[in-house]
Chain A
């Protein structure tokens, strides 16, 4: 018995020694003249093409420019508070729970100084509590769910993209203003969180802005990535509603456009596409004229021709030069999040007179107002952590002269026209009929 016990002890300690070796594989601490930042975006799967890769390209372009100090003034100082950024790109595919595991690896294994990114609202909602738990500065770049800051106050999370309620209010305002005679509307949205929310907010906003407007009782919710929409198209063609709202993206919007085109769908219906920007370039001339198109901000197609803002002019030109395509919405969104981090680092470094610590950076980031590639951004909601900015819509029109997609009648709605005042929940504000909205 005693012998057995001794042998047991030896075995336990041998195994313990093995495990301890693993435990001692510690990560290396980063030097002060360079910072390591995790950049998370879809690199594989269906969201990589329209969102992930343009996002990554936008981030890379701006990181390189900031490291070299070649951004236009006033952002032309070199580095992030003087430090060079070394990005670590991580794939966002696979769902929220998987992202939590990878986020922990980024923070605890790779010892990054901050994490920037996330496209899907599911990822953002899953990451936010972990970011607060691990106390790591995290800047969300694309996701739109209003729940992020409205459900719970956050301590380490920031978001540089306005929330989805604002996108829908802007869409509804545009429709009421430009097509006041089209009173009824239906929708085709993918049956998952983003599609359901988009329809819900658009419907609410329309009801409040024009009480005479009427939603169809047959809005369509096909399965995400189903790719076949003939049944839905037939149903909507029979529907009397002249307006069709869609939050489709990726291959789904391309498939829908092509299938609708052969059926003459777009001659009979006015389509409102909230994030169809990626399809405009990939379909080219096949993309129908007359579609009401938004990009969730002053991004992509809406501002491609507009060279009045030097930051936007630089971004469009350099992006086109480097990747041979135009920047899309996510390119701007990632570039903005990176720029925001730089400005926070610069401000904190100046105040601290050296390398700032995380708390100093976070207090610099809070309530910041800055000029980004998409114009003015103000971190005024969610206790100074949530951005508001104008959102615009326009109508597609093929530019025959340049042989490129074009857009006309672009209109922007200011931040205070589509967002609630601080402290009010977006959905409540929408339900109350948007009191105090300041539209010019």
Chain B
């Protein structure tokens, strides 16, 4: 369907194309995802009607898939805002085509993190009691506070850099789209004053969002580590969770980038160098994650405390051993094997490693939540947890709905920040050159011609 002015697009028309034209493949995928999400919604209504008894939750395993999903989704949310903000503050020029894809993941996935908590409640109507009678002594309420703050910050951080692109779309779209973009582009015209205000806002948010993001997953870890449960009460849980969150978030970002690159033919924007840079970061996070995991488990083993030993051996050699060793293979062995080798560090290889990490990190969250509850410190009978079709269906529905919403976002807004890419072309090269030049010692006059790259002799283009 044609929704554009007949005016010619400029060189970046491939970035407008997904927004202004929709092919059959999108609708096919959307129908499938909607069907899975509808099945998940049916399972949830079934749970609402008959209560949490229809799930595999029991005594003592009172937390299962829903809390695993909550921790996993909140972790994925670190893909965007944190990575994007760090790269922006570091003036990493290669960030420009990837920031929007990352920030979108953050905002959308946070809704599913919050939703998982609501699904876990047998009586969601009682959620309002938190608002009325909440006690900020509880880490659960710290979570409510920090996640709400993070969601607000991430939404604003996604919206601000979107404004100039909304104006670009406003000038090209027709019908209801034109009205929508006009309303939310805030009358953007690209005047110097508007640029000044926008850049100031983005800079403030980039600084603010980093401590918020770190605090969110630290607070999520405190929900566990503030208890006396075996293998939960740990001082390294905060950084361990943050590391795992960034690790899984990067994997999600790589997969999202690969998907939009293939679906919308964005090979000229999302280049192998972007995947390679993220892969090296992912490899670093894989090793860091293994370091924390090893430290956590070695301390539990060496301490020899009975309750901790029960959880540890349930994971390593007991009923959770398949999941545990699968987690090690998926989070360490496969990423290491693929990404440490330059020949296998291709786009396909990196995406394979990222998919492996995503599954592995979900298993890691499962292994944090369930074995400890199944082997409690207090003298309760030990339990086992076996999720029912309701939990599987709701989980599948949540993932399907997330993917669907991400697809819909790419149909409403450019998934690559057009104005930032253009700015990179116009100013980035010169700024990067000047920045690198400022790092280097000042050459002795007469030994090095100004404006030339040492050892190369080629003049740097001036802008």
- A is bound by B: no
